[in-house]
Amino acid sequence: MRIQSAQTISEICEICKNNDTSIILVPPFSLVTIKEKFTELTATPHIVLIPITFMNLSLAFKEIQVASQKLKNLIFHEKLEDQCREFIDKHPEIGK
């Protein structure tokens, strides 16, 4: 998981292509455009867009903390689920 900033739509596209889990800090004026153009990217729980300006820096910090914890929990549960599936596949008698 990474926390990155992006100013342009092309920067956001690049981040989304290279990372499957990201918190992306974006200028508030471009947030609506980004959400409209990249509905499929912003709909995934692995991508979190947070509008940030110097004026809302303290609020954004709190949002980043909350988003980070949610993404960590999501990643943990996905990995745990995968490991449980692998274990059950190796031991089919458990699934009965």
Q: Is residue 47 part of a domain?
A: yes
Q: Is residue 28 part of a domain?
A: yes
Number of domains in the chain: 1
Cβ atoms of 24 and 5 within 8 Å: the answer is yes
Q: Is the pLDDT of residue 31 over 70?
A: yes
Q: Is residue 81 part of a domain?
A: yes
Q: Could you list the residue range(s) of the whole structural domain that residue 77 is in?
A: 9-94
Question: Mean pLDDT across the stretch 61-80?
Answer: 88
Q: Is residue 4 part of a domain?
A: no
Question: Mean pLDDT across the stretch 34-49?
Answer: 74
pTM for this prediction: 0.67
Q: Is residue 2 part of a domain?
A: no
**Tokens of residue 82, six digits:** 């995968």
* pLDDT at site 36: 75
Average model confidence (pLDDT) for the chain?
80
Cβ atoms of 8 and 38 within 8 Å: the answer is no
Q: Is residue 14 part of a domain?
A: yes
